[in-house]
């Protein structure tokens, strides 16, 4: 249920500009409305893409959230890989990493 709440918060944030406008200032009050674990709360406060990925946040929700935070594409991919390196495999959902974290694009490899 907690992952559901975590994703619900991000879903509302991603699609609601009025929530986005107040996000950084009011994050405590915004997330207080959702029943979340301490790990989830900290991940949101830190904008920890890697941990949120490992916790099982749906990739599409996480991708839109990363874009909202202004994270560049290749940095976003690397943050997810780093999350797996630190916290282990994705714990839930259907957006698991299938291999060892290699890049599939020349553009990223040559960066």
Partner 1 sequence: MSLVYSGVLSHAPGITGRAHLVENTEKRDEFYAALENQKSEIMDSGAEAIIVIAAEHFANFFMNNMPAYCIGIGDSYEGPIEDPKWLGIEKTKIPGAPNLAKRLTKNIMQTVDVAYSEEWKFDHGIMVPLNFLTPKYDLPVIPVNINCQGPPLTPLHRAWAFGEALRRACDEVPEKIALVGTGGISHWPATPDSGKINEPWDRVFLGHLMRNDKDALLGYSDEDTYNDAGQGGFEIRTFITAAAAAQGQGDLQFYTAEIPIFAVGCTVARFSIE
Residues interacting with partner 1, by CB under 8 A? 4, 7-8, 11, 14-15, 58-64, 67-68, 70, 73, 77, 80-81, 84, 94-99, 101, 103-108, 110
* SS3 category, 31: helix
Which CB atom, from 38 or from 94, has the smaller least distance to partner 1?
94
Return d(Cα 62, Cα 65) in angstroms, integer: 5
Which CB atom, from 28 or from 108, has the smaller least distance to partner 1?
108
Which CB atom, from 38 or from 96, has the smaller least distance to partner 1?
96
Query: What letter would DSSP give residue 99?
Result: S
Which CB atom, from 41 or from 97, has the smaller least distance to partner 1?
97
Closest distance to partner 1 from the beta carbon of 67 (Å): 4
Return d(Cα 10, Cα 58) in angstroms, integer: 10
Return d(Cα 107, Cα 84) in angstroms, integer: 22
Tell me the two tokens of residue 1. 């249920």
Return d(Cα 28, Cα 25) in angstroms, integer: 8
Closest distance to partner 1 from the beta carbon of 86 (Å): 13
Closest distance to partner 1 from the beta carbon of 69 (Å): 9
């Amino acid at each position: 249920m907690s992952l559901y709440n975590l994703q619900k918060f991000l879903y509302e944030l991603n699609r609601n500009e009025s929530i986005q406008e107040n996000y950084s200032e009011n994050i405590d009050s915004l997330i207080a409305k959702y029943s979340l674990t301490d790990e989830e709360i900290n991940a949101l406060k830190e904008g920890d893409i890697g941990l949120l990925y490992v916790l099982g946040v749906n990739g599409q929700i996480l991708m839109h959230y990363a874009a909202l935070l202004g994270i560049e594409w290749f940095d976003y991919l690397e943050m997810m890989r780093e999350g797996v390196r630190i916290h282990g495999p994705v714990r839930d959902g259907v957006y698991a990493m299938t291999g060892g974290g290699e890049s599939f694009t020349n553009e990223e490899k040559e960066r």
